[in-house]
């Protein structure tokens, strides 16, 4: 008997597993539930849903708040939200399946599958690989104006990319680029022979039994869906949903946490699901392998709190270290909607968070609280810390706005009459802007999509107050030629030439 006790003590001391030892139970969820409830109230988020997967099973799943402010309909696990850029990992997985089938290779030139594909730089056009479409490293800067300020087809978006000048050399830096995921979707369509949305449905949603998930915003007609919300002058308001359908492979999916639990489980378990697997083990690993450095010192403000030693990007996933572990994650943001998918494979834990308030960074707080609570330990109040961080950022923005206002030169008059500003302005890349005047009020419309009132600021600079109040305002600069006529207009980095301005000649010089 004594010998048996000595053996048992030795095994315990060595830390070896004993068959008789019960598995450690996960922490009680009641305290976590209470934490989330309080955090949702503190951040004034109208509605939020969260699911947590640990050791290949859902250990927590719940909805909080309401679908729309001022209405009683509650958020539950079936409520549909915009997944936004968390869609990118799904698009990468679809490409991975086609790689497994030998229909495409990560290192194929894009032009092998899209012969008409063209960027501004012929070298980049020739050298860009399928892999690069997922890595934000092409050298092309942000081109979101092609889908947010225009109502053009996805094919026209791709055609205009050849007009966008690079801002850095190929693979030398990192600038977030949604449109290249659209290009990836076009490659998927070409090699599969099916529309991207059909591939998504057949290759991911159906195998994982994600029956409520839709690949496009225009297909969402379910009553149990959220409205979008935005804080305008300290008041949270319901706003119109924005749509990413024009660049669908980058961010168009709508889903609920009940469905997304299956996606979280699948990606945590090397893409396995009940009855099969989506990807070969090597392809799954390739998706999550660090592929490029994220060159911004703090791409997400929350990194000021987490202080990661490194940050990289895989195929549709950000990556960084947290408490000595590799964390794969991605956020998603559209007007009035947020999402976040985080996974820590070595701890077999994943979380998906959906919300209906624009840039409610409670999502970051809940990511780290989930990892601490259910896997790593720790009692940091991430909600409180993030609120202080983002509260200070908001105060800094308000201060910067006051600084801009203080730089306005008072008592100046326009250099040219309002009537002389009226006209149409155009550019092959940026489209068309039109200045009109009615009852003494100048208005500017951009590509018949966004519009607002123009107010004189100083000299030949005006401010555009968007009709969508949550867009804020934007400086507009009218540029005169040497004849004192309005030759062009500059809005947010876009310069458009006036259509009816007579040319200035050098005659007589």
Last residue of a domain, one of 368, 398, 428: 398
pLDDT digits (tens, 9 = 90+) for 259-281: 999 999 999 999 999 989 999 99
Q: Is the pLDDT of residue 311 over 80?
A: yes
**CB-based contacts of 193, cutoff 8 Å, min separation 6:** none
Paired strand residues for 51: 61, 352
Q: Is the pLDDT of residue 301 over 80?
A: yes
Confidence of residue 502 (pLDDT cuts 50, 70, 90): low
Is 45 part of any domain?
yes
Q: Could you give the CA distance from residue 224 to residue 205 in angstroms, rounded to a whole number? A: 19
349 & 289 share domain: yes
pLDDT value of residue 503: 54
pLDDT value of residue 26: 54
Q: Could you give the CA distance from residue 202 to residue 19 in angstroms, rounded to a whole number? A: 42
Residue 217's φ and ψ, nearest 5 degrees, are -60, -40
Q: Could you give the CA distance from residue 40 to residue 140 in angstroms, rounded to a whole number? A: 38
**Strand, helix or coil for residue 382:** helix
Helices 179-192 and 87-100, packing angle to 10 deg: 30
CB atoms within 10 A of CB 221: 8
471 & 381 share domain: no
**CB-based contacts of 332, cutoff 8 Å, min separation 6:** 82, 83, 84, 85, 86, 87, 251, 338, 339, 340, 341
Is 245 part of any domain?
yes
Q: Is the pLDDT of residue 201 over 60?
A: yes
Is 282 part of any domain?
yes
196 & 166 share domain: yes
CATH code of the domain covering residue 441: 2.40.128.600
67 & 202 share domain: yes
Q: Is the pLDDT of residue 2 over 80?
A: no
**Strand, helix or coil for residue 368:** helix
pLDDT value of residue 237: 96
Is 459 part of any domain?
yes
Q: Of the spans 65-69, 405-409, 418-422, which averages the highest pLDDT?
A: 65-69
Q: What are the Cα distances from residue 417, in Å, to 18, 35, 442, 463, 473? A: 87, 59, 11, 16, 22
Residue of 213, 327, 216 whose CA lies nearest to 263? 213
Q: Could you give the CA distance from residue 133 to residue 317 in angstroms, rounded to a whole number? A: 13
Q: Could you give the CA distance from residue 445 to residue 466 in angstroms, rounded to a whole number? A: 9
Q: Could you give the CA distance from residue 464 to residue 454 in angstroms, rounded to a whole number? A: 5
Q: Is the pLDDT of residue 489 over 70?
A: yes
CATH code of the domain covering residue 177: 3.40.710.10
Is residue 361 within 8 A of residue 353, CB to CB? The reply is no
432 & 365 share domain: no
Taking residues 297-310, what's their average pLDDT? 92
For residues 492 and 365, the model is more confident at: 365
pLDDT value of residue 396: 94
Last residue of a domain, one of 398, 428, 447: 398
Q: Which of 190-204, 206-220, 435-449, 490-504 shows the lowest mean pLDDT across its residues?
A: 490-504
Q: Could you give the CA distance from residue 457 to residue 405 in angstroms, rounded to a whole number? A: 10
CA-based max dimension of the chain: 116
Is residue 237 within 8 A of residue 248, CB to CB? The reply is no
CB atoms within 10 A of CB 425: 28
CB atoms within 10 A of CB 19: 4
pLDDT > 90 in the chain, percent:
87
pLDDT digits (tens, 9 = 90+) for 457-478: 999 899 999 999 999 999 999 9
Total-model pTM: 0.91
The domain total for the chain is 2
pLDDT value of residue 501: 62
Q: Could you give the CA distance from residue 85 to residue 64 in angstroms, rounded to a whole number? A: 22
pLDDT value of residue 312: 97
pLDDT digits (tens, 9 = 90+) for 335-351: 999 999 999 999 999 99
pLDDT value of residue 233: 87
Taking residues 41-49, what's their average pLDDT? 98
Q: Is the pLDDT of residue 11 over 50?
A: no
Is 12 part of any domain?
no
Residue of 173, 214, 191 whose CA lies nearest to 94? 191
**Strand, helix or coil for residue 235:** strand
Q: Could you give the CA distance from residue 460 to residue 413 in angstroms, rounded to a whole number? A: 9
364 & 435 share domain: no
387 & 423 share domain: no
Q: Is the pLDDT of residue 16 over 50?
A: no
356 & 491 share domain: no
Q: Is the pLDDT of residue 385 over 70?
A: yes
pLDDT digits (tens, 9 = 90+) for 71-117: 999 999 999 999 999 999 999 999 999 999 999 999 999 999 999 99
CB atoms within 10 A of CB 470: 17
Is 3 part of any domain?
no
Residue 346 structural domain: 29-297+305-398
Confidence of residue 27 (pLDDT cuts 50, 70, 90): low
* Residue given tokens 């989330």 in the structure block: 36
Phi-psi region of 386 (alpha: psi -120 to 50; beta: other; left: phi over 0): alpha
351 & 490 share domain: no
For residues 484 and 158, the model is more confident at: 158
**Strand, helix or coil for residue 30:** helix
Is 1 part of any domain?
no
Is residue 7 within 8 A of residue 20, CB to CB? The reply is no
């Amino acid at each position: 008997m004594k010998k048996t006790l000595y053996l048992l003590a030795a095994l315990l001391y060595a830390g070896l597993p004993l068959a008789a030892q019960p598995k450690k139970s996960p922490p009680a969820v009641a305290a976590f539930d209470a934490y989330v409830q309080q955090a949702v109230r503190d951040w004034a988020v109208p509605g939020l849903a969260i699911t947590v997967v640990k050791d290949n099973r859902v250990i927590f799943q719940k909805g909080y708040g309401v679908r729309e402010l001022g209405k009683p309909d509650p958020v539950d696990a079936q409520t549909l939200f915009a997944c936004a850029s968390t869609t990118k990992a799904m698009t990468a997985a679809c490409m991975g399946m086609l790689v497994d089938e030998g229909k495409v290779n990560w290192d194929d030139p894009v032009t092998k599958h899209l012969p008409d594909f063209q960027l501004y730089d012929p070298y980049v056009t020739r050298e860009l690989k399928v892999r690069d479409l997922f890595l934000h490293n092409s050298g092309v800067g942000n081109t979101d104006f092609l889908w947010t300020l225009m109502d053009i087809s996805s094919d026209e978006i791709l055609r205009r990319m050849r007009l966008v000048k690079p801002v850095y050399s190929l693979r030398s830096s990192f600038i977030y680029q949604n449109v290249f995921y659209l290009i990836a979707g076009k490659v998927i369509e070409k090699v599969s022979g099916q529309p991207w949305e059909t591939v998504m449905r057949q290759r991911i949603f159906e195998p994982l039994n994600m029956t409520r998930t839709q690949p496009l915003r225009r297909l969402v007609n379910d009553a149990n869906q959220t409205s979008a919300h935005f804080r305008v002058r300290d008041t949270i308001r319901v706003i119109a949903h924005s749509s990413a359908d024009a660049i669908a492979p980058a961010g168009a999916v709508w889903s609920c946490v009940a469905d997304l639990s299956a996606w979280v489980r699948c990606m945590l378990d090397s893409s396995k699901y009940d009855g099969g697997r989506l990807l070969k083990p090597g392809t799954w690993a390739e998706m999550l392998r660090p592929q490029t450095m994220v060159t911004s010192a703090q791409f997400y403000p929350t990194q000021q709190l987490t202080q990661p030693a490194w940050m990289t990007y895989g195929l549709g996933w950000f990556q960084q270290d947290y408490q000595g572990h590799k964390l794969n994650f991605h956020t998603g943001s559209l007007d009035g909607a947020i999402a976040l998918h985080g996974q820590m494979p070595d701890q077999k834990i994943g979380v998906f968070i959906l919300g209906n308030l624009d840039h409610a960074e409670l999502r970051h707080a809940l990511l780290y609280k989930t990892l601490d609570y259910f896997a790593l330990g720790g009692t940091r109040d991430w909600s409180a810390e993030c609120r202080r961080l983002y509260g200070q950022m908001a105060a800094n923005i308000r201060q910067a706005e006051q600084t801009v206002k203080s730089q306005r030169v008072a008592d100046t008059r326009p250099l040219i009459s309002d009537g002389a500003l009226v006209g149409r302005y155009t550019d092959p890349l940026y489209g068309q802007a039109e200045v009109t005047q009615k009852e003494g009020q100048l208005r500017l419309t951009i590509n018949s999509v966004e519009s607002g009132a123009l107010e004189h600021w100083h000299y030949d600079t005006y401010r555009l107050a968007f009709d969508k109040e949550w867009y804020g305002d934007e400086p507009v600069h009218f540029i005169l030629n040497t004849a004192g006529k309005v030759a062009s207009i500059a809005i947010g980095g876009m310069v458009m030439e006036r259509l009816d301005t007579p040319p200035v000649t050098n005659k007589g010089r």
